[in-house]
Copies of this chain bind each other. A is one copy, B any other.
Amino acid sequence: MTDIDLTTLSTTKSIQLSHGGGGQEMNKLIKGLFFKSFDNDILRNEEDAAVLTLEGNTAFTTDSFTVSPLFFAGGNIGKLAIAGTVNDLAMMGAKPQYLSCSVIIEEGFDVANLKTIVDSMANELSISGAKIVCGDTKVVPKGCADGLFINTTGVGTITKSGISVRNLKQGDAIIVSRDIGRHGAAILMAREGLTLESELISDCNTLWPAVEALIAADLDIHAMRDATRGGLSAVLNEWAQASDIGINVVEDDVPVSEEVRGLCELYGFEPFDLANEGTFIIALPQEQAEKALEVLSAFAACGDAAIIGEVSDDYAGRVILTSGWGSRRYLDLPQGELLPRIC
């Protein structure tokens, strides 16, 4: 890295169009902020593309983050942008290795806030050990974006193969890694300016350490997915359809915090449809379910892990929810205007 004069950047309070123009100002922003926080050998090469050595099967995934507001209880768009993409890799049994980071910044965006967000990204990366190795910075005029959008795209070597949306089998147990709906509820709360007496924070979290432990325990994981947009309902319905099996869920076994339940009653949401950003669902043989719960219990973020249902041969392609009173109904893929911009 050439020697850069950071004084100009540090005295700039807000992002200008010239920070995205491809000239000197952009160079200063990139080197003074992004390179400093994400520093690593590959990034420092400054080639048109990063050069990686990848072996075996590689998982490849992308997500653009447009969450509003940018800061919420339990995280911000930066933490989310790392956890989200790292988790998509982890869900394929892949070790998160290399990420790209592409930002679209609205003219006038506060540089101090950008620094806080970038620092959160660097901090979240340290949990999985993944590195940001290439990036892109665009600035659009005031009114042409809502503050900041971040795209992260990631690659990682698959360490456990066979995990697939198509691989659920009769008799599999369905496990959820913690209580559901926290992220959606935290965003709703931030957006509505609500303050609850109890502390409701997003589940936003990097899941790789827990997944790595499950893989190390040699469990025969059939399917695994983080329940982001569309929540638990979306994951279970996609699985039921892709694997052409039925899934029975026992409503009372699904962990939901009192705070999330309260917000859902207030706003008419179903906890099953609310987004999560650090909660995942596992399908694996019934006889390995207790072992999986034991592995998960070592992780603070998986403290409420529970078996919530099983794969059945009834109603192939559908998810059946049995209530505490014994009544049964379809748990459908959410539709209509769900809570927008939760990620």
Contact indicator A66/B23 (Cβ below 8 Å): no
A229 proximal to B (CB < 8 A): yes
State which of B26, B63, B144, B151 has its C-beta within 8 Å of the C-beta of A146. Answer: B144
Indicate whether A47 sits within 8 Å of B164 (C-beta atoms), given known contacts A20-B340, A133-B60, A335-B24: yes
A279 proximal to B (CB < 8 A): no
Residues of B within 8 A of A48 (CB): 61, 88-89, 91-92, 165, 225-226
State which of B47, B62, B341 has its C-beta within 8 Å of the C-beta of A102. Answer: B62
A139 proximal to B (CB < 8 A): yes
Contact indicator B64/A335 (Cβ below 8 Å): no
A163 to B261, CA, bound (A): 57
A2 proximal to B (CB < 8 A): yes
Indicate whether A92 sits within 8 Å of B341 (C-beta atoms), given known contacts A136-B62, A153-B62: no
Residues of B within 8 A of A340 (CB): 17, 20-21, 139-141
State which of B18, B91, B141, B228 has its C-beta within 8 Å of the C-beta of A22. Answer: B228
State which of B22, B89, B101, B242 has its C-beta within 8 Å of the C-beta of A338. Answer: B22
A276 to B241, CA, bound (A): 46
Contact indicator A21/B334 (Cβ below 8 Å): yes
A242 to B27, CA, bound (A): 13
Q: A50-58, A112-120, A252-260: which lies at the B interface?
A: A50-58
**Chain A interface extent, by class:** 35 or more
Question: Which of A17, A22, A65, A336 counts the most B-chain CB atoms under 10 A from its CB?
Answer: A22
Contact indicator B62/A100 (Cβ below 8 Å): yes
Contact indicator B23/A234 (Cβ below 8 Å): yes
A158 proximal to B (CB < 8 A): yes
Residues of B within 8 A of A155 (CB): 52, 60, 155
Task: Give me the interface of A with B, judged by CB distance under 8 Å.
Answer: 2, 16-18, 20-27, 45-54, 56-66, 68, 88-89, 91-92, 94, 98, 100-104, 133-136, 138-141, 143-146, 149, 151, 153-155, 158, 164-166, 225-226, 228-231, 234, 238, 241-242, 273, 275, 333-341, 343
- Considering the complex of A and B, which 5 residue pairs feature the smallest CB-CB distances, nearest first? A22-B229, A22-B230, A62-B100, A49-B61, A153-B153
